[in-house]
Amino acid sequence: MNWFRNLFGGALDSSQRGVKSIRDKFSHFLSLLEENNRILKVISDMEEKAQGDFLFDINYIRDSLVKSRKSINKLIADMIALGGEKYLPLTTRLDEIDSEIDLILPGCQPTMRDDLTIPLEDIVRERACSVGSKNAQMGELKSQLGLPVPDGFAVSGWAYRQFLKANDLQNRIGKRIKALDVSSYEQLKSVSEEIQAMVRAATIPPELVEAIESSFKALVKKSGSDRFSLRSSAIGEDTEYSFAGQYATFLNVRRRDVIDRYHEVLASKFTPQAIYYYLSHDLSESQLAMSVGCIVMVNSRASGVVYTRDPVHPNEDCVMVSAIYGLGKYLVDGTLTPDTICVSRKTKTVTETDIAVKPVRLVLKEDGGTVEEAVPEDEQQKLAVSEKELALLLEHALKIEEHYGSPQDIEWAIDHDGRLFFLQTRPLHVIEPTEDVKPDLSGLNLVMAGGDTVCPGAGGGSVFHVETVDDLSEVPDGAVLVAPHTFPGLITVMGKVSAIVTDTGGVACHMATIAREYRIPCLVGMERCSELPQGKIVTVDATAGAIYEGLQDDLIQARKPEFELFSDMAIFNILQDILVKVAPLNLIHPSDANFVPEKCQTFHDIIRLCHQKAMEEMFLGGLNVPGKDQLSVRLKSDIPLKINIIYIDQDYHDYAREGSIDESEIASEPMRHFWNGVKHEGWPAAHKMDVKGFMSVMGTSVTAGGREDFSETSFAILSREYMIISLRMGYHFTTVEAMCADEVRKNYVRMQYKEGGASLDRRSRRIKLIMDILTRLGFEHHSKGDFLDSRLAYREADTLYKRLFLLGRLTMLTKQLDMALSNDSVAGWYTKDIMKKLGLLNDKERRS
């Protein structure tokens, strides 16, 4: 704006400030339109994803919300700059809507204030925000379905909050997490060790120790047991995010060790793999309070997992049971390859059995903890469960699936007395592979085949062997990761590897669950994978259980999953629930009493209100620029209207050099098309009027008296894509505003008519005539008496140019027409005549 100072030397006077004000407003107006367009695209994409035709995950939802919030905050800031503090309530409404959305997002629910400890039988799934989903679902199975679940109690997430508060830990933890580069395993390990040391050094508040010991005594008395497990049940765990195997579980805990083991479970929230998991899913560590379950230990003869659908082939008629001898830890951590049994959902019979060699099992030690022991040789290749036990597992598993309404991943155990217990249920993640595309495998060199598909798909890269977490920092991007078995730390490199292959393990291990969440092609039980040379380029076809030489791009492309059939139902539900707070439009008509900031119920309401009110504020700003005569130039035309022009996208010196602007030099596309319409029609001759019409004009002349408005020069404020022109023609005012840009969502035309020279009844007839004509052009209206406000929005620029041309013609055709409209019949005749001239009548109307 230096040209202002150069021109006038020093401080700006009122006219200069007026033009600067409209320029500033226009800048905010354009910014608002940009943000309006940007956020509507985001909402449209979210609605498209919610139709179920595209893959997405929770990170997509969170990213969309971040983009939406950023744009809406900018939108509101621009709105306040345009119209002042009366729009501040929009900020409050956005915060309130945001809070409602946060309650829908997993991991974002606030920790419920609750008892420090809660008996399992008093817990249902709705209490998950207090005790975590693992504890909540165990309570649900026990109290609501009456299924066999061991007795126990939960130490609540609220208790964890009191632990943090008593030791002033949250801020210290948050600072270290915030500064962490999650892509660096060395940083992960370092930060993990530092935070875990802080947690272990902290003191558990005496009232929490007392609550745990009291509940433990009650549990011992009720169950008669002296062996227990301490299991993590963090808020957000076992939901859409499994956190499978990321936190600690302690088995066969004796009374003397309960408090210490509870302390260790809290510390396990900050292992490298746990930190990586929640940060890579864009979850907030501070919102994932750690609840812990203290559960009576099941001395398992056999244990395992039931998938109520085959996670790789979910359309097939199969409930998949994985089973081993002893405690289930060796199954879920991938130490052992389990027996796998497929049971028909329809016939309830076993349709397929794959018996694994089970050389060892994990059992309880007498003095606490666990120990590995050899399985007798004659039992190693026997099925770990009987047909009767399979039938009972199937019956209960299908009951659980029906209760939750989606496929489930269920952990179970059978004790030495043959009693079945359920230890956990969570949503099952499954992926439906592409079946239509058959990859051409001719000419490919097969390196090895076999193994079990954990996650279908294909990925290629250089082979990299790892055996322990110490090897993970060296894993290169795009590697094919090969390991003897799965271990929890593998998750920390899942964001960089192209495929995973292990020598042992089953489809029900924790790593398998995580691999499906990350959609990493994965094979387990590939017994000779350790023979793959380090650095060799291979392609893993996890769908077919094969490894080929070289990087096979066509195969990788052909194996890409098209969609997820069951596991993303929860994600779809989350997106649809969020869209209820984002997409519906409740504020429709600007004339409604509820069209105010305080009544905005959704993001879309805020956007709609800002878009509408921005046009109104811009409109008023354009009409009320003080001192505009001094910073404008006259439009040269044979139309006898005095029109002064101000450009808000040009310096005054550039367009005022000649002192006037020729019609051919109009540098505004909307104005050029409008003025072409005015020129096309030309200055109209006077309409015929009767005596009453003449007298009404005379009466208006007298009452108008010395009103200066009627003698004022007309003004146009213009830019290349924008115009607002206020025309004073005799006793009536016509104002036209338009934005015609490449982006359709920015575009609109607004036209206002008011007053006139004739009596009110004649002026009202002219308003109705204009409204009927504009309706044919797609405009919406608000009218009262002799005032009309019409709008047309969200059309291509070329469409609006044509409308503006017709508006220019209509402006001339209706000049002083009110004087001739003595009755409704005359008004009807003029309506039809003007429509005919504008080419708006259909064939039937033209003939009538």
268 contacts 381 by C-beta, under 8 angstroms: no
Strands (E), 355-502: 360-364, 370-374, 408-415, 420-427, 446-449, 452-455, 458-465, 480-483, 499-502
- DSSP conformational letter for 432: B
CA angle 803, 805, 807 (to 5 degrees): 70
How far apart (Å, rounded) are the C-alpha atoms in residues 23 and 767? 32
- DSSP conformational letter for 235: T
Give Cβ neighbours of residue 362 (< 8 Å, ≥ 6 apart). 326, 327, 329, 330, 370, 371, 372
463 contacts 600 by C-beta, under 8 angstroms: no
CA angle 687, 688, 692 (to 5 degrees): 115
- DSSP conformational letter for 384: S
How far apart (Å, rounded) are the C-alpha atoms in residues 101 and 99? 5
How far CA 130 is from CA of 247, 292, 538, 761, in Å, comes to: 18, 11, 47, 69
Which ranges of 443-507 would DSSP assign to H, the alpha helix?
Answer: none
Give Cβ neighbours of residue 624 (< 8 Å, ≥ 6 apart). none
For tokens 């319409």, what's the residue?
677
Q: Which tokens belong to 773?
A: 């004509």
Closest of 411, 506, 504, 529 to residue 454, by C-alpha? 506
CA angle 219, 224, 227 (to 5 degrees): 75
Active site residue 611: no
Task: Determine how many CB atoms are found less than 10 A away from the CB of residue 48.
Answer: 11
Task: Determine how many CB atoms are found less than 10 A away from the CB of residue 438.
Answer: 8
Catalytic entry in 263, 281, 429, 510: 510
Is residue 810 helix, strand or coil? helix
How far apart (Å, rounded) are the C-alpha atoms in residues 292 and 280? 23
Closest of 761, 766, 772 to residue 730, by C-alpha? 766
- Torsion angle of the four alpha carbons 202, 203, 207, 210, in this order, in degrees rounded to the nearest 10: 120
Closest of 457, 545, 454 to residue 498, by C-alpha? 457
Is residue 459 helix, strand or coil? strand
Of all residues in the chain, what percent are helix, strand and coil, respectively (each to 5)? 45, 20, 35
Active site positions, annotated:
510
